[in-house]
Chains A and B, each alone.
Chain A
């Protein structure tokens, strides 16, 4: 029997993604760093649920509070207000050494006076596991990160990529319930980073541990996450799968931060229960999904991804009219910058499919056709 108060619960049970257990729950967490002269709000009333076995990414520019949020989960900082729960248990003020949570630090923070093996077994020793169990687990973890040959090396004698693996192994060895990764790949060069991205996904799959990954690299976030949260100035702006975030950004910041976007200004001319008609040019009206905040007669911005627009020869049927002002050929696709009739610039990424290779030279008059189903009304 479902009462009104149970609606939330029932929705979760009916949804296959939501039916998993919640690993980390952050309720209205606020963190203010106070000094004698100033106070900085690093996190502003943030709530978030991270599910079991999920690869969850916190994405945002530097200073957005993502690392602070991670440190709250790890226990290095305590929130000024709000709660943190781990599998339902309130851990808000537990010290880090009591939380079944391990961290892979940005600079790895490997103990320089120990070998690779000593580093990895440190956590297990502190948990007072038996010698036999420690050596067995360390061997397993070394195998997992493919570092068996280097076990007796000092950590100062191995390369950056290898140090990264050791840091991962050290954090995985105590089999934490949640693994936190703080910009852990940003110190690696491009090729190594891509290898580690694949490696991380594999490890997450094999261990079944919940990963919470902090990054400022949108590409990394999109390729690796099951779900992600976009943050800015201490707030979570949007939570969703990479596809949802990329295709349906709800706020201008999200659309700008992730991928490229064109922003069109328009007037709301009419609205029905869940949709609104937005006039984007004198000849074109888009019918878009809208929430209650969108009222007729107001000005809104609409985001259009460059790959969701197509160029046609200048006809009145197209949504927007303009002239090609710049063109860059990339092989698989071509980037066009169109100067619209109202003077705004509009970017189009056109796929170079065989048989469709119509070149639009700079100066040509062109029409831009928009894919209405992927356009979004944004909140500022």
Chain B
């Protein structure tokens, strides 16, 4: 190859690189432009309000609600601690902590109950012939068409002292006096499970539907009985659906407002009600804002732990 020739080649290749770089830059600009609507929505609907709430936690409560623009840590202080009105001694805010604990406990119970009820349901739907599956899924989504409040009142009719359940039980002679279910923690748990059950069923269905049932056959062939097949093969393989369903039920349960309000009868407060109280009758917006941020942190930390633990297991296996 002549040196001349080589030179042209090199030149042409640099030219190509330059052209390539320019087109890359243009593409990048285009991509950013296309992102703008999404970024705007994110800024206006998520980041902005969250920042406002965050700022409110560091302000002083106004006498008739609202905030006074005066820096203060009182809101955060009151989340965990309380000051005696008379002698000013500081002690742990046990009322808040017990509400935190109740929210956490009831949310976990609802999630587990939803999983236990949702898994067979999703499995049933996923194993129907393809033509009838859509009908079943449609039936699952019907409750979404009804207002949350009305659905909650329906549960109330079911479990109150003169409700369907108690009337039936007494009618059949199983019990003499009605079981008190309404306005207990149990009723809140039941209500949340009912309300959020579709959120468990749908992701579970999506992953069970993708399950290769030949693997189930293979496990049967290798002497695994039904329970072994369920826990050694099906559950590990549909785990993404289980995780998604649990997250989708746990998070709204933790912040639930309507269900505990209606079914808890005002005596079994959950975090959502406590926060509402601060913005309403309590007239303590900074405390309400601080409680909201705390709830957000609790959710994020529990998710982080969950993701971490599943990732570690994956890594161990690999």
A298 to B223, CA, bound (A): 56
Q: How far is the CA of A365 from the CA of B225 in the complex (A)?
A: 71
Given A122-B222, A123-B222, A174-B223, decide whether A96 and B215 contact each other with a Cβ distance below 8 A. no
**In the complex, how many angstroms separate the beta carbon of B225 from the nearest chain A beta carbon?**
6
Partner of B219, one of A98, A101, A107, A122: A122
Q: Are the CB atoms of A109 and B215 closer together than 8 Å?
A: yes
- Distance in Å from the Cβ of A16 to the closest Cβ of chain B? 33
Q: Is B223 in contact with A74, judged by CB distance below 8 angstroms?
A: no
B-contact bits for A108-124, CB 8 A (1 contact / 0 none): 01111111000000110
List residues of chain A with CB within 8 A of the CB of B54. none
A174 to B221, CA, bound (A): 11
Taking CB as reference atom, which chain B residue is nearest A123?
B222
- Which residues from 221 to 243 on chain B have a C-beta closer than 8 Å to any C-beta of chain A? 221-225, 228, 232-233, 236-237
Residue B220 at the chain A interface, CB threshold 8 Å: yes
Partner of A109 from B217, B223, B318 at Cβ < 8 Å: B217
CB-based nearest A residue for B217: A76
A103 within 8 A of B: yes
B175 within 8 A of A: no
Write out, one digit per residue, whether chain B residues 204-227 have a CB within 8 A of any chain A CB (1) or not (0): 000000001011011111111100
Q: A97-B224, A174-B223 are contacts. A111–B317 as well, Cβ < 8 Å? A: no
CB distance from A165 to the nearest CB of B (A): 16
Known: A76-B217, A103-B218. A113 touches B223 (CB 8 A): no
Pairwise interchain contact B221-A97, C-beta atoms closer than 8 A: yes
With A112-B237, A115-B317, A154-B318 as known contacts, state yes or no: A105 contacts B214, CB within 8 Å: yes
Instruction: Using A112-B237, A113-B236 as known contacts, say yes or no to A103 and B215 having CB atoms under 8 A apart.
Output: no
Question: Mostly helix, strand, loop or mixed at chain B's interface?
Answer: helix
Chain B nearest CB, measured from A210 CB (Å):
16
Does residue A17 face the partner (Cβ distance < 8 Å to B)?
no
CB contacts (< 8 Å) of A154 on chain B: these are 317-318
How far is B317's CA from A154's CA once the two chains are assembled, in angstroms? 8
Which one of A98, A111, A123, A171 contacts B215 once the chains associate, using CB atoms below 8 Å?
Answer: A111
Instruction: Tell me if A363 counts as interface (CB < 8 A to partner B).
Output: no
* A112 CA / B232 CA spacing, docked (Å): 12
- Asked if residues A122 and B224 are in contact (CB atoms below 8 Å), the reply is yes
Query: 8 Å CB contacts to B: which residues of A69-127?
Result: 74-76, 95-98, 101-103, 105, 107, 109-115, 122-123, 126-127
The residues in B between 278 and 318 inclusive whose CB is less than 8 angstroms from any CB of A are 317-318
* A105-B218 CB under 8 A given contacts A97-B223, A126-B228: yes
Specify which of A109, A115, A171 lies most central, judged by the most chain B CB atoms within 10 Å of its CB.
A109
Interface residue ranges of A23-82 to B (CB < 8 Å): 74-76
**CA separation between A170 and B222, bound complex, in Å?**
8
Tell me which residues across on chain B come within 8 A of A97, comparing CB atoms: 220-225
Give the distance in Å from the alpha carbon of A110 to the alpha carbon of B221 in the complex: 12
Q: Are B317 and A113 touching (Cβ within 8 A)? A: yes
Contact B223 A123 (CB under 8 A): yes
CB distance from A71 to the nearest CB of B (A): 9
Q: State the interface size on chain B (CB cutoff 8 A).
A: 19
CB distance from A118 to the nearest CB of B (A): 9
Q: How far is the CB of A169 from chain B (nearest CB, A)?
A: 12
CA distance A97 to B224 in the complex (A): 6
Knowing A96-B217, A105-B218, A154-B318 touch, does A111 contact B223 (C-beta < 8 A)? Answer: no
> B217 to chain A: which residues have CB within 8 Å?
76, 96, 105, 109
Is the CB–CB distance between B220 and A109 below 8 Å? no
> In the complex, which of the residues B214, B223, B318 has the most CB atoms of chain A within 10 Å of its own CB atom?
B223
Q: Is the CB of B237 within 8 A of A96?
A: no
CB < 8 Å: which of A107, A113, A115, A126 contacts B222? A126
B212 contact set on A, CB distance < 8 A: 109
Given known A-B contacts A111-B233, A113-B236, A115-B317, A127 and B218 have beta carbons under 8 A apart:
no
B-side contacts of A105, CB under 8 Å? 214, 217-218
Closest Cβ–Cβ distance, residue A98 to chain B (whole Å): 8
Name A108's closest neighbour in chain B (CB-CB).
Answer: B218
- CA A49 to CA B281, docked complex, whole Å: 85
Alpha-carbon separation in the docked complex, A97 to B233 (Å)? 14
Q: Mark B164-207, 1 if CB is under 8 A from A, else 0.
A: 00000000000000000000000000000000000000000000
Among B221, B224, B233, contact of A102 (Cβ-Cβ < 8 Å): B221
Contacts of A109 in B (CB 8 A): 212, 214-215, 217-218
> What's the Cα separation between A170 and B220 when bound, in Å?
13
Partner of A74, one of B221, B224, B225, B228: B221
**Bound CA–CA A98/B221 (angstroms):** 8
In Å, the complex CA distance between A3 and B283 comes to 105
Bound CA span A126–B222, Å: 7
Query: Residue on B with the closest CB to A173?
Result: B222
The CA-CA distance from A91 to B219 in the complex, in Å, is: 19
| C-alpha gap A123/B237 in the complex (Å) | 18
Cβ–Cβ < 8 Å partners of B221 in chain A: 74-76, 96-97, 101-103, 171
A379 to chain B, nearest CB (A): 37
- Which of chain B's residues has its CB closest to A127's CB? B223
Q: Which residues of A contact B318 (CB under 8 A)?
A: 154
CB distance from B159 to the nearest CB of A (A): 40
| Nearest 8 interchain pairs by C-beta | A123-B222, A109-B218, A126-B223, A96-B220, A109-B214, A126-B224, A113-B236, A97-B223
- Given contact pairs A95-B220, A127-B223, enumerate 9 new A-B contacts (beta carbons under 8 Å): A76-B220, A101-B221, A105-B214, A109-B215, A111-B215, A113-B237, A123-B222, A126-B225, A171-B222
User: 14 pairs across A/B with beta carbons < 8 Å?
Assistant: A75-B221, A95-B220, A96-B217, A97-B221, A97-B224, A97-B225, A105-B218, A107-B214, A109-B218, A113-B317, A114-B317, A122-B224, A126-B224, A171-B222
Q: Which residues on A are within 8 Å of B, measured CB to CB?
A: 74-76, 95-98, 101-103, 105, 107, 109-115, 122-123, 126-127, 154, 170-171, 174
